[in-house]
Structure 1
């Protein structure tokens, strides 16, 4: 069976995933609650599979995968997230993920996904790996593809109501950099205010 590192900021989810995988014969080497610790633990333990949430503090899951890809991580990444598979499967695939599971699925799917990855297969929802689309408040279609990973990270935090200073502290960047990204997002979504930006994203429940 395989060796696993579980990354999620919710202790109960980490515990549930650990118990499930250990009951299926896998060995959970470590758990991380944020992206920075995840990178350190993966470097230390070199697991076969990383079960990774996207919405984690300090460094989000997309950025963690980008780091793995640039550093040629030899293991596999199985994304486990509450984010929409329609909107994030393709992006995760491009960043090197080998599987994607929604937290709304049955828990046993996680074990199935890990088994598939260890067998050299990919594990994505049927039909989910396509180019996603959302609409602005003016019903202008907007593709996610023009957004960088960092833009999506900041967008998700803005939708959650986080302030510039909070986002800057979370991502270890300056608040001026956050303001620059915010302005760029407003232009890309063809809106003029933060409220319109949030409404545009929530309209399709994409973040």
Structure 2
């Protein structure tokens, strides 16, 4: 009997994923709505597959991937998310994901990805990121974003959405001072003058 853990904080999305998975022959379907539930549930249920969103409360998907990679558990992970593949797909691949599917695609892509992963293959979109389709500003900004660590990217997105340092610190289990240090570093690394410009930068690159 095939088992799967579906990790997404939106019940409607989980319901849609479950329909696909049932059609693919998964009999036991477990659900989680936050990142910090994932590792304990993997240890308990030993699913054949994990379908993981990247944006969740408590612990983001990239951090979840990192924890799985650093742990003694072994499972296939398919990332199913609305996040821009140009900036996240390679990060997920490096963190151990076997597939990356954008929620903006037809659900047929999710079917194909599940097929591929369960057959021992990977499933990633072919990205035309190699500069040809990007203007000089886009190319420059993509390089800066690619140069951020996963944690810097997560804090960048929180700040760009207008979250206060204290809220980010609580959500990510960091000190207020650490978040403040990251904020200063991000403004410097991304060559912007203020948080307003940081937000504009994120919007231009479809990160929020």
Partner of 1:53: 53
Residues 167-196 of structure 1: CA distance to partner in whole angstroms, max 9, x if unpaired? 111111111111111111111101121111
Q: Which moved more, 1:121-130 or 1:32-41?
A: 121-130
**CA apart distance, 1:70:** 0.9
**CA apart distance, 1:134:** 10
Distance 1:46 1:199, change over 3 A: same
More helix by share: 2
**CA apart distance, 1:155:** 1.1
**CA apart distance, 1:135:** 8.2
Q: Is the 8 A contact 1:90 1:128 kept in 2?
A: no
Q: Is the 8 A contact 2:187 2:194 kept in 1?
A: yes
**CA apart distance, 1:77:** 0.8
CA RMSD, Structure 1 to Structure 2 (Å): 2.4
Residues 26-60 of structure 1: CA distance to partner in whole angstroms, max 9, x if unpaired? 13431111100112211211211110000111000
Distance in 1, matches of 2:79 and 2:35, equals 13
Partner of 1:84: 84
Q: Tell me, what secondary structure is at the counterpart of 1:147?
A: coil
Matches within 5 A, 1:111-122: 111-122=111-122
Distance 1:30 1:141, change over 3 A: closer
Q: Is the 8 A contact 1:29 1:45 kept in 2?
A: no
Unaligned runs of 5+ in 2: none
Q: Tell me, what secondary structure is at the counterpart of 1:120?
A: coil
2:62 is the counterpart of 1:62: yes
Distance in 2, matches of 1:27 and 1:71, equals 26
Partner of 1:188: 189
The aligned length equals: 205
Partner of 1:6: 6
Distance 1:205 1:42, change over 3 A: same
Distance in 1, matches of 2:142 and 2:22, equals 44
- Normalising by structure 1, report the TM-score: 0.90
Partner of 2:159: 158
Q: Tell me, what secondary structure is at the counterpart of 1:4?
A: strand
**CA apart distance, 1:20:** 1.8
Distance in 1, matches of 2:147 and 2:130, equals 15
Q: Which moved more, 1:58-67 or 1:42-51?
A: 42-51
